[in-house]
Structure 1
Amino acid sequence: MANQDLPKTMKAHVLAEFATPYQLQELPLPSIDDPNDILIKVDAASYCHTDAVLASGKMHPPPLPHIGCHEFAGTVVQVSKDPHGLKVGDRVAVPGRGNHVCGECFECRNPSGPMPDDPGYSVYCPNTGGGLGVGNKAGGFREYAIVDCRQVAIIPDGMSAVEAAPLMCAGLTIYAALRKCELRPGQRVGVMGCGGGLGHLGLQFATKMGLKTMGVDVNSQALELARSLQTSATIIDSSAETPEDVKGDMKREDGGENPAEIGLDAVIILPDSQKSWDYGMKLLKNGGLLVLVSFPPEGFHISADDLVFRRIRVTGSLIGSNKAMKEMFDFVVKHDIKAKIRTYPFSKLNQLVDDYHAGAGGKLVLDMHLNE
């Protein structure tokens, strides 16, 4: 699309007040003001649990009015003077983090963790004012969006924008959390909340990594979704089996006798409930690793006994680096990993939100090319 063919205005879903429906409004087309920026025509915008939290105003409330969505994908329609190799017509996937990093702070100068970014760039930069759709910058619930060309990834051939969008938060976050576990094939990992957006992708990633995978959930719809994936993961209904029951099965499988040596090597906590934390913690063997992804406003209670006497290690994980994003796409293509997706026309965002709160599983995505 040539620049002269771009419209003057666009439609966008705007959150005018917290805990209210989105309003579909006509807004001016955003303009490129930074040499690292590109303009994309949004092709798909995926809904995340964080979108629900932000829209409620209960945690990290963004300034209003707000345009949400931090996992989306689209087509480049305009580039800046330094597009870093991107050109008009490229299909790109966009995560929320890493927008306009400062390049000078400690995080940018000293990227760390599995698959860190190169020095001078970090998705954890604290000086961005928040990521796209989660801070003071508009996200993907609109027809056109300005994005930092340094934070995007080219969508692999054969993958649609609808398939790519959920990978930009749900996929990248759970992939990075699994890599942070630093496990070897054959070791055990648990995914608490295995039937949600992140969880069902985590089951696919973990089993394809060669890990003995256990998925735990309590919601019947979530459990059904997790089982429908037909991975090699063991799916546990936490309302029907206690951690002691589950460890008993592992003891019989491994033939172990020492209780301290029986359990998961790592567990990833996705839900924001204390019950999920406690259940996952009890599944760990001594010296195991708990990777926390959720962030409820009230926090979690941590037992000192687990840290001091059982040597349980606890770390947090937010989202993967750009290096992790590229590696994840390679992994997804190689192993044919796909999110379970339900699509909606662009105008039906509020219906999507209602379905999300009603417990619809998988990932819910606005498909900009879907007819009413």
Structure 2
Amino acid sequence: MAESGPSEKFPETQTVALVRELGGEVEFNTDYPVPKPGRNEVLAKILYTGVCQSDLHTKSGTAAGPDGNPITKIKLPHVGGHEGVGRIIQLGPGCSDDVKIGGLVGIRFASRICRRCEHCLAGKEQYCKKSTNHLHHEDGSFQEYIALDADYLTILPDDIDPVVIGPVLCAGLTAYKAILNCQLKLGDWLVVVGAGGGLGHLAVQYGRAQGALVLGIDKGLGKRDYIMSLGASDFIDFTASSDLIGDVMRITDGGAHAVVVTSGNAKAFAQAADMLRINGTLSCVGIPPGKAFIETPVSSIVIKGLRITGNLVGSLKECLEAVELVRRGVVKPKIEVRPFRDLPVVYEELEKGRITGRVVLKIAKD
């Protein structure tokens, strides 16, 4: 079992983006301690990281829990980020032989699991009640170095592009899981609400990879051209439509087989179920702040035989499947690379809905 040698030296401090209290401003601390890997842990140098809407909600103190109330049990000071790609530079004692120095690893939402509960045993470890994550409990990828559980590593193929893979570890995985939960057949109609966003543009592509005909819904002429370039069959600008449900019914010849709502805006869910045909599936992804509700009559759900499913990221196995489709070029994330210190500006743009695709921050200095 390899470990880094005693002659190897690593920095004692690093630069991190932290928030001292929920709702506070992001500040860059250049004197934050570099963690030392414990037993069955590795130390990774973070190369790139995506910026997720969940990072913004958590930092702002508006991230909703299962009961709709804000999540307040968050490690402070808070270091967010859960779409990172890093390279292993040090092994703690007890790491297995398949963990190698120099290997690429992902920093995902989930950080540690129990491996023994019913959810872990069923391959649905994202629901492990004893789990921790890089958003609420442990420092995430908005830092230069990170310690990771070697027994739950997201080991990435050596030939992936670390620049584009970060967003796949959360946005891509969640979109992929949402598509799987739709149980689509070849030629089914899939509506993606928020199709031009960080999650939406990936849902369009994972849906196309399943053989679906995709109708993208978003706003703006630029979004139309972009979403159609991803392989969508049609597009609706919801700000220009006087009868959104009617337009969906006309284009899909009677309603979608599935609707994936990727937007974190409560209004996006208001009419989503009305877009479905008999036995259709509403796949919920975006989590609006506060207690948002699906405004659908129970009679409609019963009489039309609708399915409603939620998607909390996905398992490690599903993550690697989502990564593989990107590695093979079937799915191509749209990213914009920016410097690490642009994070506060990126948060502002996310709040205003001005980002198409995903922003990726360059963390490593070399």
Deviation at 1:219, TM superposition (A): 5.2
**Of 234, 237, 256, which aligns to 1:264?**
256
350-359 or 302-311, which moves further after superposition? Answer: 350-359
Q: In 2 relative to 1, CA 235–70 (structure 1 residues): closer, same or farther, beyond 3 Å?
A: same
Q: In 2 relative to 1, CA 323–352 (structure 1 residues): closer, same or farther, beyond 3 Å?
A: same
Matching residue of 2:33: 28
RMSD: 2.1
Q: In the alignment, is the contact (CA less than 8 A) between 2:189 and 2:212 conserved in 1?
A: yes
How far apart are the structure 2 equivalents of 1:235 and 1:73? 33
Matching residue of 2:207: 206
- Alignment-mate amino acid for residue 77 of structure 1: I
Matching residue of 2:126: 123
Deviations for 1:221-274, whole angstroms, at most 9, x for unmatched residues?
Answer: 5445424x34143221122232112212333xxxxxxxxxx2111111112334
Deviations for 1:94-116, whole angstroms, at most 9, x for unmatched residues?
Answer: 2111x22112222123x2xxxx3
Matching residue of 1:87: 100
Q: In the alignment, is the contact (CA less than 8 A) between 2:84 and 2:106 conserved in 1?
A: yes
Asked if residue 56 in structure 1 is aligned to residue 69 in structure 2, the reply is no
Deviations for 1:19-48, whole angstroms, at most 9, x for unmatched residues?
Answer: 33211111111022342x211000011100
How far apart are the structure 1 equivalents of 2:17 and 2:286? 26
Matching residue of 2:282: 290
Deviation at 1:93, TM superposition (A): 1.8
238-247 or 8-17, which moves further after superposition? Answer: 238-247
Matching residue of 2:67: none
How far apart are the structure 1 equivalents of 2:236 and 2:52? 24
Q: In the alignment, is the contact (CA less than 8 A) between 1:186 and 1:210 conserved in 2?
A: yes
Report the count of equivalent residues.
347
Q: In 2 relative to 1, CA 2–160 (structure 1 residues): closer, same or farther, beyond 3 Å?
A: farther
Deviations for 1:269-325, whole angstroms, at most 9, x for unmatched residues?
Answer: 112334322332111001111111122221213321221222211111111111111
- Alignment-mate amino acid for residue 80 of structure 2: G
Deviations for 1:50-92, whole angstroms, at most 9, x for unmatched residues?
Answer: 0011011123232321100011110001123124611110011
Q: TM-score, normalised by structure 2?
A: 0.88
**Of 8, 12, 20, which aligns to 1:8?**
12
How far apart are the structure 2 equivalents of 1:75 and 1:310? 50
- Alignment-mate amino acid for residue 34 of structure 2: L
Matching residue of 1:366: 361
Deviation at 1:18, TM superposition (A): 2.4
How far apart are the structure 2 equivalents of 1:221 and 1:12? 35
Deviation at 1:213, TM superposition (A): 1.1
**Of 319, 322, 327, which aligns to 2:316?**
322
How far apart are the structure 2 equivalents of 1:194 and 1:216? 6
Q: TM-score, normalised by structure 1?
A: 0.87
Asked if residue 234 in structure 1 is aligned to residue 234 in structure 2, the reply is yes
Q: In the alignment, is the contact (CA less than 8 A) between 1:346 and 1:367 conserved in 2?
A: yes
Consecutive unaligned residues in structure 2, runs of 5 or more: 64-70
Consecutive unaligned residues in structure 1, runs of 5 or more: 252-261
Q: In the alignment, is the contact (CA less than 8 A) between 1:196 and 1:361 conserved in 2?
A: yes
How far apart are the structure 2 equivalents of 1:63 and 1:159? 32
Amino-acid identity (%): 27
SS of the equivalent of 1:50 reads helix
SS of the equivalent of 2:32 reads strand
Asked if residue 244 in structure 1 is aligned to residue 257 in structure 2, the reply is no
SS of the equivalent of 2:347 reads helix
SS of the equivalent of 1:7 reads coil
How far apart are the structure 1 equivalents of 2:332 and 2:365? 19
